[in-house]
A and B are shown apart, each in its own frame.
Chain A
Amino acid sequence: MPAWIEIKDARKKVDDFQLGPVNLEIEAGTITALVGNNGSGKSTLLKLLMNLANMDGGAIRILGKPVDGGDESWKRHITFQPQKQVGWNAYTGNELKNLIAPLYLKWDDKLFEHITRLFDIPLDKRFGKLSPGMQQKLSLALALPRKTDILILDEPTASLDIPSKKQFMDLLVDWMEPEDRAVVLTTHQADDLRKLADYLFLMQDGQGIGLYEKDRLVASYRRYWLTEMPDGPVPGELSRDGRLLISDDPDATEQFIVAQNIQVLDDQALELEEIISLLLK
């Protein structure tokens, strides 16, 4: 299957911040989380993706079409939910729905009603008068029913309370049931990563550090408590503290330890958050 989003050497300079060159491919059927500190370039990358800013170089294709090619018909197949909706404040939920729904062939009114009821969203109030959490819920109610092939969510859970976060996850999981859709989201919530993400794309200071399959990433780190710590370096060693060793190559580490006749008292996987912190150090 061809990549649904294809980013090749995309670059953008904003004041003294340099994004990229970034390379990333997104396949259908997957949820990819962009992970990085504030200011790492996630939102800028999403803007380039939606052709809301001009690239300085490189190429981005969505469903095979270059985003900056003049023909913007690809936009009907992609939904972008920014952190802040621009130009929505003066409209009520009902008015926004009437503006948005006709633009999308597959608009699902039942799903819209389901989400508005689930979150108890007042549709007769102006968007600007809603709380940040309610704005986020209404944005979602206006995003998912479009049933586009690609859904881009910029921090969709930032203002949600715990029960709403759980409902959001269930909605997104249901939305992904047809296996030909793709989601890209940015998040700082570890729970979003654990329950939703298949791939993590790590970013730091405008650079893409790497695209990791979640389970493979977790399996490639391990913590060992040893009967004694070898004096010299251990293969895979990332850090040591007394007799505690962290490795990013468990096979090599274990082989070496056995050969040295050292016993492992205990060993453990690392939490996803710990691994991310190590990679973004």
Chain B
Amino acid sequence: MLPIRLSKDSREPIYHQIEKQLKALIAGGHLAAGTPLPSIRALSKDLEISVITIRRAYQDLEAQGFIETAHGKGTFVKEIQGTVKQDTMTASVRAEFERAIQNAMDYDYTPGEIKAVFEEILEKLGKGE
């Protein structure tokens, strides 16, 4: 079973959550090239999501070169290039920052206040090393 955790309360579409987490597992090296992925039907049962949604996530990941389907054999993790790995990590980190900053802006924080919070957290977490 894959360590995928869906947030059903999130407004982020489920197929998008699946894609994002699978990409992170692949780019982070947790799923090596050649690793077989669960069938669409098996993942549908495990995640309690329809095959329509799983198929959409798999098709997107295949189009983006993260996985490949060998007819009759199943779906496998593809060898991805270093630049793709780097791009995936950058995109993931940027998306998290964007969400956090958007959240602060929703609460009417000024850019100065946002920077102050950022510096404070960075210092706190940096000290923990």
Q: Which residues of A contact B (CB under 8 A)?
A: 29-31, 169, 173, 176-177, 179, 194-199, 213-215, 218-219, 250, 267-269
Q: How far is the CA of A218 from the CA of B10 in the complex (A)?
A: 12
Q: Which of B49-57, B60-68, B89-97 contacts A (4 or more CB under 8 A)?
A: B49-57
Q: Does B11 contact A (CB under 8 A)?
A: yes
Q: Does B129 contact A (CB under 8 A)?
A: no
Q: Does B44 contact A (CB under 8 A)?
A: yes
Q: Does B13 contact A (CB under 8 A)?
A: yes
Q: How far is the CA of A106 from the CA of B41 in the complex (A)?
A: 22
Bitwise interface map of B from 31 to 71 toward A, beta carbon under 8 Å scored 1, else 0: 00000000111101100111111000000000000000000
CB neighbours of B101 from chain A (8 A): none
Q: How far is the CA of A197 from the CA of B49 in the complex (A)?
A: 8
CB neighbours of B42 from chain A (8 A): 173
CB neighbours of B11 from chain A (8 A): 250
Least distance between B76 CB and chain A CB atoms (Å): 16
A-B contact sample (17 more), CB < 8 A, given A213-B50, A219-B13, A269-B8:
A173-B41, A173-B45, A176-B41, A179-B40, A194-B48, A195-B48, A198-B50, A213-B52, A214-B49, A214-B50, A215-B14, A215-B49, A215-B50, A215-B53, A219-B14, A267-B9, A268-B9
Q: How far is the CA of A219 from the CA of B1 in the complex (A)?
A: 25
The main secondary structure of chain A at its interface with chain B is: mixed
Instruction: Take A177-B39, A268-B9, A269-B9 as given contacts and tell me if A30 and B51 are in contact as well, using a CB distance cutoff of 8 Å.
Output: yes
Least distance between B74 CB and chain A CB atoms (Å): 10
Q: How far is the CA of A194 from the CA of B44 in the complex (A)?
A: 9
The number of residues on chain B lying at the interface, defined by a beta carbon within 8 Å of a beta carbon of chain A, is 17
Q: Which residues of B contact A (CB under 8 A)?
A: 8-9, 11, 13-14, 39-42, 44-45, 48-53
CB neighbours of B13 from chain A (8 A): 219
CB neighbours of B45 from chain A (8 A): 169, 173, 195-196
CB neighbours of B39 from chain A (8 A): 177
Q: How far is the CA of A28 from the CA of B13 in the complex (A)?
A: 25
Least distance between A192 CB and chain B CB atoms (Å): 11
Q: How far is the CA of A215 from the CA of B41 in the complex (A)?
A: 15
Least distance between B56 CB and chain A CB atoms (Å): 10
CB neighbours of B14 from chain A (8 A): 215, 219
A-B contact pairs, 19 of them (CB 8 A): A29-B51, A30-B51, A169-B45, A176-B41, A177-B39, A179-B40, A194-B48, A195-B48, A198-B44, A199-B50, A213-B52, A215-B49, A215-B50, A215-B52, A215-B53, A218-B8, A250-B11, A268-B9, A269-B8
